[in-house]
Amino acid sequence: MDSFLKKSARLFKTIFYYQADTTDNIDNKWDKLPTVSEYIVQYPEHSDAANETIKCRFCSSSNIKFQPLMHSRDRREKHFCGACKRTLYKSFADV
């Protein structure tokens, strides 16, 4: 019985692991990201609004890249650091 419970727990974890990147989860993560202007307000030491330069708040790299969130026609874009690959903020594509 004890080992059955352990197996069940492991299976349960596996299921959650594979659900970790469902569409809902990606949406939620994106929702929680700051916008560009919020990022500048939150991390003024890593951005210069006057010069429109934004740096990574983790490694201070100015090599910021962006990509559509889910697919090429997704207007939601996530911006991430090209150096340390961490997601920094979000924006909407102008289409």
The contact set with Zn ion (CB under 5 A) reads 56, 58-59, 61, 81, 83-84
Tell me how far apart the alpha carbons of residues 19 and 4 are, in angstroms, rounded to a whole number. 23
In the bound complex, what is the minimum distance in angstroms from residue 87's beta carbon to Zn ion? 10
In the bound complex, what is the minimum distance in angstroms from residue 85's beta carbon to Zn ion? 7
Q: Nearer to Zn ion by C-beta: 19 or 61?
A: 61
Q: Do 47 and 39 touch, CB atoms closer than 8 A?
A: yes
In the bound complex, what is the minimum distance in angstroms from residue 44's beta carbon to Zn ion? 17
Q: Nearer to Zn ion by C-beta: 58 or 92?
A: 58
Residue with tokens 């650091």: 81
Backbone angles phi, psi at 61, to 5 degrees: -75, 145
Q: Nearer to Zn ion by C-beta: 54 or 69?
A: 54
Tokens of 68: 């559509």
